[in-house]
Amino acid sequence: MLIWHAGVPWLPGGFVGVDVFFVVSGFLMTTILHREHVRYGRISVTEFYGRRARRLIPASTLTLLATGLATFLVLPETRWRDIGLDIAAAGGYLVNWRLADRAVDYLAQDTAPSPVQHFWSLSIEEQFYIFWPLLIVLVAWVVKRAQGSATGVTFAALGVIAAGSLAWSVYLTDADASRAYFVTTTRLWELALGGLVALAMPLFLKMPKMSAVALAWIGVAGILGTGFLLTTAVPFPGSIALIPTVATALVLAAGPAAGNAGPVRIFANKPTQWIGGCSYSMYLWHWPVLIIGGYWITDGLREISVIEGVVLVTLSVLPAWFSLKFVENPIRRAETFVDSVKNSMALAFLGIGISVAIGLLVAAAVPRAPDAYQSRYVPPQSDEVVAADQPIGAEVLGDDPLASTAAALLDKVPSITPSPQAANADNPDVSDCQLNYTEITPKFCEYGNKDADIEVALVGDSHAGQWIPAMEAVAAERGWKLVVSTKSACPYVDIAVFSDNLNRPYDECRAWNEQMGAYLTGAGKPDAVVLSYGVYNTGDMDLLISGAQVRWAPLVAQGTKVIVIRDTPAPGRNVPDCVAEHQDRLTACARPRDEALAKRDQSQPAAVEAVPGVQMVDLTDWICPGPQCAPVIGGALVFRDNTHMTATYSRSLAAQLAKRFPSVP
């Protein structure tokens, strides 16, 4: 897992280490609990919780405390709030659900990785530790009343849980792979599988040695094979997760009977034992060191190299060893806690409380910019649009931006609106008209004069949505009714889109296209349709062009005006993060114009030419008016992330958009 996180290319499936971990955890915890029940006829849930608390929480609290401090010292202020809330969620062992929600939030997907993102698996494990002993106690109660077999009833209960969770995992992975990766319900079967092996161990110990040896080594081969051959292009977990998990189950089941002829020789040597003893601390520390250390050595201006990643992961062994030697082991073995469940539980709540408090403090530490620097875009509360007091953004460039002195790239400016800290919120309110990945029925927002005779529709993905502030101003000026309908990562083009977020063909995009086409060509069709969209790597630009013809030509044929707004230049990095870190050296956040233009969609001009009657509006020169695309123009922050304009800058383009926008009958 650590090697994969470091970016080593020859281990593309290293993420299955978590699945191996889940099966082993389920095996060990079920073994402990079942053995206690068989030996004493009862299970002390509080003692179990106390042991887990002593083992896990002190080390995790130290890690989260250090991560919070490092975030405050190293990372830009724009990251503090999200990371602080992540730390709080990690401290409460709920961060997997927060990450699952973020995975389906299209507007949050360009967020840089959180330094506590790896706590998602620990959160699932801790939730399992809370639930599992309660289940076994319930089973013991049922067995006592029914006078049945404790092992048999427990096995049946785990089997039902495993089957249900696996079925749900297969379904959700197909429907929404990003969410399926993080939620507890899609991983519970892996823990249950380990529990089933633990309960069946008396039978496995009787296995013929030759069979045990073969099965154990097949298991090892299965784990290694998935690590070397599986890639993130495969939707996961789903049914494919059966390979590494069943392989792990084979090693656990057959390993003892195989004896020294099996893989036990690998696991019994001293280096492996040392790594195993330190594995928890190493897992805790490697990711914060990798993320925060990586930002520190690159100044946030580039991705770390594989060599840098390997060095950082290797260095993370130092705090891991310190934590193990001076925090984890001393507390775990201290008589004060070993002899007192009450003290152990108090320790647990104290650690969780400290972690949550640290996270909330980091989140609250973000300095608030003056109100004047929050945003110059006012979401519509009526049919009127609030005008700015003085020129800002593209408004200062005039009609010839390439010759404007206001386009000069500067290291420092007097003020930035919105402030980097407020940039993420400086976007148009699309909650009523932006569809997420799994939605297909169009939603609509209305702006401008809602009783107007002329209706203009703005349609496309989030790159169309970023033009709402500018289009809203044009609609208000000309007395139109503006209708907006957008869908995450979905252009109004007839192509087969593959969703990286869903990790599968994006069938919902085509379904939305069909329904949107019915609206645009139906009885209440708009007078004009404005389209825009970002980059779609189909592997063949001709597919995008022909797909545009399929969707756009019927609109032109029925007399609808079709206008395509040229895609925006690609800034290449999270602009607010960079600006927050380099407010005295803004040139560090600029990108060469030729690179920024090369990385945006290249098919739109050809698609417009391929459909006679379609017109293009290109405001590239007002977004990147120099040889370097500046992060701040006219005191306005241009982008709110690494791809979308701020609403403030979009609004500042309204005058130029109006001048180039064709008349609508």
At residue 503 the predicted structure's pLDDT band, cuts being 50, 70 and 90, is confident
Mean pLDDT of the chain: 92
Domains and CATH numbers, the chain: 2-364 (no CATH), 423-567+593-620+645-660 (3.40.50.1110)
**What does the pLDDT average to over 175-179?**
90
Residue 33: Cβ-neighbour burial (10 angstroms; 0-12, 13-18, 19+) = buried
pLDDT of res. 381? 43
Percent of residues, the chain, with pLDDT higher than 70: 95
**What does the pLDDT average to over 264-279?**
84
Side chain identity at 49, as an amino acid letter? Y
pLDDT of res. 387? 47
Rounding to the nearest 10 degrees, give the CA dihedral for residues 327, 328, 329, 330. 40
What value, to the nearest 5°, has the Cα angle with vertex 543 and ends 540 and 547? 160
pLDDT of res. 357? 98
Side chain identity at 516, as an amino acid letter? M
Rounding to the nearest 10 degrees, give the CA dihedral for residues 49, 162, 499, 572. 20
Q: What secondary structure does DSSP assign to 228-292, as a single string?
A: HH--TTS--STGGGHHHHHHHHHHHHHHHHHGGGTTHHHHHSHHHHHHHHHHHHHHHHHHHHHHH
Here the tokens at position 110 are 């360009």
Q: Examine the pLDDT at 8 and tell me if it is beyond 70.
A: yes
- DSSP state letter for 355: H
Q: Examine the pLDDT at 374 and tell me if it is beyond 80.
A: no
Q: What secondary structure does DSSP assign to 318-353, as a single string?
A: HHHHHHIIIIIHHHHH-HHHHT-HHHHHHHHHHHHH
At residue 232 the predicted structure's pLDDT band, cuts being 50, 70 and 90, is confident
Q: Examine the pLDDT at 104 and tell me if it is beyond 80.
A: no
pLDDT of res. 112? 81
Q: Examine the pLDDT at 389 and tell me if it is beyond 80.
A: no
3-state SS assignment for residue 48: helix
> Quick count: other Cβ atoms within 10 Å of Cβ 357?
15
Residue 114's contacts (CB-CB under 8 Å, 6 or more residues apart) are 82, 83, 86, 99, 291
Strand 632-633 relative to strand 614-617, pairing: unpaired
**What does the pLDDT average to over 71-99?**
96
